[in-house]
Amino acid sequence: MSTSNPIWIDLNPGASHRYGQLLIDEDAVNVGSLQNLFLCMVGDRGRIFQPEYGSHLIEFLQEPVSYPMANMIEMSLMQTISRWEPRIRVVAITATADFSMPGYKVTILYTINMTNRPGSVTFNFPSMAG
């Protein structure tokens, strides 16, 4: 098996005309894997699969929007990606508190490990705090 031209395939959590049922290469990381990882709470996979898979993002989104919480989100997502997404190496994560949303704008800059190509993705995560 050659790793010189890898093709990654993930299921698309939001199939649309732009993205079909399956995602390949960078779309697999940007649209599929990271979104699925962030929106899966730790423990949601159950005892059969990976009980530690997931992130603590949803827990943070249930707290009031604040700058310290944005810093905690950055650190948590860095740890989550480092543990569960081996295809990329994070260069930087920036979480910005957006009080008009309210929520957080999260931008992730990364390098794809097998190709050394840079990539980036931005997510808007609305607050769930009442």
pLDDT at 36: 83
Q: What is the arithmetic mean of pLDDT over 66-83?
A: 97
User: pLDDT of 97-129, one tens digit each?
Assistant: 999 999 999 999 999 887 888 989 999 999 998
Residue 36 and residue 13 in contact, taking contact as beta carbons nearer than 8 Å: yes
Judged against a pLDDT cut of 90, whether residue 64 lies above it is answered with yes
In a domain, 33, yes or no: yes
Range of the domain at 104: 9-126
Q: What is the CA radius of gyration of the chain?
A: 15
CATH of the domain at 117: 3.10.450.40
Structure tokens at 130: 């009442």
pLDDT at 117: 87
Judged against a pLDDT cut of 80, whether residue 9 lies above it is answered with no
CA 45 from chain centre, in angstroms, equals 16
Q: What is the arithmetic mean of pLDDT over 30-36?
A: 76
Distance CA 64, CA 18 (A): 34
In a domain, 4, yes or no: no
Judged against a pLDDT cut of 50, whether residue 2 lies above it is answered with no
Share of the chain above pLDDT 90, in %: 50
Residue 110 and residue 119 in contact, taking contact as beta carbons nearer than 8 Å: yes
Query: Tokens 């949303």 map to which residue?
Result: 101
Element (H, E) at 87: none
Task: Return mean pLDDT, the chain.
Answer: 82
In a domain, 3, yes or no: no
Structure tokens at 16: 């649309």
In a domain, 1, yes or no: no
pLDDT at 1: 44
In a domain, 39, yes or no: yes
In a domain, 2, yes or no: no
In a domain, 88, yes or no: yes
The total domain count for the chain is 1
In a domain, 114, yes or no: yes
